[in-house]
């Protein structure tokens, strides 16, 4: 597929979806793309995405409607839908994350995970964690940095019924978010 494809997902509908980062001949990373492929490995469709932080372009998951959920290079949370036959891809929804990332200039999302309430937890390289509740249209954030103000998140976040666990360069935090979606430690 012309690059590194670290995320390969298969939905309930049987369509295989891949998130790839295309690489040029000189080894330069180019454009990430979402690809649908047939069971035989034939590309059915692709959708190029804006380039950004590498982790933001390699982590994704499928939601209950088999849409790929990811953050693109413009720090926008996307839900990418596909047609029934997988031959057409389109962005079904967008949530701009720039405001929560503006707390630290140059910050970018590096990882995301869904929770049991249908929200999306995202963490930035500078350890700002946010809960995105698309139903309510809210983004609530927190910067744990309880151990050091220089804490970073490289790529470790997971969710459980009671919240999300985030691993920073200095510690592990168990976060929860009440009905208001405001995260807390």
In our burial notation (b when 16+ CB lie closer than 10 A, e otherwise), range 154-173 reads: eeebebeeebbbbbbebeeb
Query: Which of 6-10, 36-40, 176-180 has the lowest average pLDDT?
Result: 176-180
Per-residue model confidence (pLDDT) at position 53: 57
- Let me know: does 28 contact 40? Beta carbons within 8 Å: no
Per-residue model confidence (pLDDT) at position 58: 66
Closest CA to 166 of 126, 138, 135: 126
Q: Where are the alpha helices (DSSP H) in 67-173?
A: 98-101
* 45 or 155: which leads in pLDDT: 45
Q: State the pLDDT confidence band at 174, using cuts at 50, 70 and 90.
A: very high
Q: State the pLDDT confidence band at 76, using cuts at 50, 70 and 90.
A: very high
Per-residue model confidence (pLDDT) at position 22: 76
Say whether pLDDT at 155 is over 80.
Answer: no
Per-residue model confidence (pLDDT) at position 29: 60
Say whether pLDDT at 47 is over 90.
Answer: yes
Per-residue model confidence (pLDDT) at position 149: 77
- Domain 1-96 coded CATH 2.40.10.480: yes
Beta strand 76-82 with 89-96 is: antiparallel
Per-residue model confidence (pLDDT) at position 113: 95
**Distance from C-alpha of 132 to C-alpha of 78, rounded to nearest angstrom:** 12
Beta strand 29-37 with 43-48 is: antiparallel
Say whether pLDDT at 74 is over 90.
Answer: no
In the chain, where are the structural domains located?
Answer: 1-96, 97-185
pTM across the whole model: 0.89
């Amino acid at each position: 597929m012309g690059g590194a494809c670290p995320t390969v997902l298969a939905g309930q509908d049987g369509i295989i979806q891949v998130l790839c980062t295309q690489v040029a001949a000189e080894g330069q990373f180019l454009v990430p793309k979402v690809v649908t492929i047939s069971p035989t490995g034939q590309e059915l469709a692709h959708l190029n995405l804006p380039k950004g932080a590498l982790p933001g372009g390699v982590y994704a998951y499928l939601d209950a409607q088999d849409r790929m959920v990811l953050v693109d290079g413009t720090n926008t949370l996307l839900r990418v839908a596909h047609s029934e036959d997988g031959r057409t891809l389109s962005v079904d929804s967008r949530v701009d994350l720039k405001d929560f990332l503006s707390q630290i200039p140059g910050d970018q999302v590096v990882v995301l995970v869904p929770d049991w309430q249908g929200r999306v937890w995202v963490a930035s390289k500078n350890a700002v964690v946010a809960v995105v509740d698309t139903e309510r249209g809210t983004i609530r954030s927190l910067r744990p940095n309880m151990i050091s103000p220089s804490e970073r998140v490289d790529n470790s976040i997971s969710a459980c019924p009671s919240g999300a666990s985030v691993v920073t360069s200095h510690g592990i935090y168990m976060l929860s978010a009440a009905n208001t979606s405001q995260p807390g430690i």
